Amino acid sequence: MTALEKHVDVAVIGGGPAGISACLELVKVPGIRIALFESEAELGGMPRCCHVFFGMRDMKRLYSGPQYARKLSQLVRKTRVDIHTNATALQIIEGKEKSRHLVKIATPEGLITCKCKYLLLATGCFESSRESRRIPGTRPAGIYTTGSLQQVVNLQKLKPGRKALILGSENVAFSAALTLHRAGIKIAGLVSEDSRLQTYPLAAKAISIAMGFKIFDDTDIENIFGKKRVEGATLIRRSDRRSFEIDCDTVVCTGKFRPDAALIYQTSIAEDQDSRGPLVDMNYMTSSPRIFAAGNVLRGADMHDICALEGRQVAVRILDHRRGNELNDTNRVTLSVSAPLRYAVPQVIFLNRARTTRTSCWSPGVSVQSALTLKRVTIEAWSGDRKLYSKRCSRLIANSRFPLQVERFDWEKADLSKPIMIKVVEDQF
């Protein structure tokens, strides 16, 4: 394989909303050399095969997923950004002090060694597969994630089955239901492992009635059976351990997103043990100087337009650092979470920045995510035995972003030598 070498100021790994939006911000500065590497054949990321409600926060209008992806692709291709598709990043070799980072990238033209002063990781996330969920049974054809289902239906224009069972009740499960409905595939039912749906229950009920399928809550898939093709699944109710069979030839495993962060595992870049993505500060800089991260590589799934705005913010920070502005703050503290919260991002908080932050659901910022849907809860922040913050909310939707108002923390009580623990408490009010 031919070895090529490329020298740039900023290398961006990932051609989804975060990566492209960062490029569009960086390219505003004359003379800066930018390279964008995307492992897929087309730019745009997950939205390429999704449905509606894209672009509200970042583009101030609504697009379908494919329209939004095409718009991003068109915008970045009109710039001087050096774009490489079918380009898979294999390895990061961190530069010491002010030396350049190296990224090994496999492309159809050969192996590229990209030398860059700044590196942005925007590799996104992936759904948990049937294997990672450890669902027993045979290994027949007909088992998909939402992403693979949408690629087959929306991009390849194929009908992958006749009757499908959906596993999961996050928002993405109902996106899978819409994809199946549009493809003319009957829905055998939706299986939720929790007693509470991981989305808005009234909306979920309305969709299930409109599409004619039943929701099996507090239920597990005990077994998938079939030889060459899925022939059905055995479900078991957690409450009474009663099992029953569902006829289907397709199973769609939805949700349980995880950051696609494999690139950092063989480096010194710190991994956040809660999110399983890179640990970042309020500048979205990782523990390795001049290596940044943005978008769903930080947390699993979040809204595409928040990821796009995050990409813009990271680009601004990279440009600030390039101009010689110091991004670090010596008064800093780490955030951690306790169950059922899944993560806090960013994890390293600068006190001076936190005090002047204006938290909004319309822009990126410090946020947490719960693993469960909870009613009547209080979000609390603790420094040792000192409570810094509390916020009541009537409902906390599982696997959805909840902005954390760090500007309202009582920072005078904080012990900066200890992590700030974010907790959720169910209460009655």
Domains annotated for the chain, with CATH where assigned, are 3-126+258-322 (3.50.50.60), 130-253 (3.50.50.60), 332-426 (no CATH)
Interval 139-186: pLDDT, tens: 999 999 999 999 999 989 999 999 999 999 998 999 999 999 999 999
Do 35 and 325 touch, CB atoms closer than 8 A?
no
118 burial level (CB within 10 Å; 0-12, 13-18, 19+): buried
| Residue type at position 275 | S
Residue 235, phi-psi category: left (phi > 0), alpha (psi -120 to 50), beta (remainder): beta
Per-residue pLDDT band for 196 (boundaries 50, 70, 90) equals confident
φ and ψ at 278, to 5 degrees? -65, 140
pLDDT above 60 for 429: no
Per-residue pLDDT band for 428 (boundaries 50, 70, 90) equals low
Specify the pTM: 0.94
Could you give the maximum distance between any two Cα atoms of the chain, in Å? 67
| DSSP secondary structure, 157-222, as one string | -----SEEEEE--SHHHHHHHHHHHHTTPEEEEEE-SSSS-SS-HHHHHHHHHHHT--EE-SEEEE
Instruction: Look at residue 53 in the predicted model and tell me its pLDDT.
Output: 83
Percentage of the chain exceeding pLDDT 90: 80
